[in-house]
Amino acid sequence: MMALRIVVGVLGVVLLGAILWASFGGGDLHGSFMNQVSVITTLPWGVVTLVDLYLGFVLFAVVIFLAERSWLAGALWSIPLFFLGNIWAALWLVLRLPSLARRINRPDLEQP
């Protein structure tokens, strides 16, 4: 379980590095973030990619709500997902993987 948590954490850090590179390291080669988003939204596959991204956030938010013990905790973990993206999802997974694995592997939850 620890190895999986480390892999998820490393992937989150890699994503953070890519975001920082795109924000600061790439200079102003292709324009600002908003300029690039406005270009992406003019492309059919750019729109599909954004729909896929946010649908993934919604689906992951469902998992968060199911796993958290209260609606408030579910909301506090889910709402930032739509702004911080998969870096936030990776953080949640690193923190919750042990309890998720225990809950998923419980034999009393198996159905015939």
3-state secondary structure of 90: helix
Name the token pair of 103. Answer: 């809950």
Specify whether the CB–CB gap between 57 and 81 falls below 8 A.
Answer: yes
* 8-31 residue pLDDT tens: 999 999 999 988 888 776 656 667
Specify whether the CB–CB gap between 12 and 90 falls below 8 A.
Answer: yes
**99: buried, middle or exposed (CB in 10 Å: 19+, 13-18, 0-12)?**
exposed
* 27-73 residue pLDDT tens: 566 677 788 888 899 999 999 999 999 999 999 999 999 999 999 99
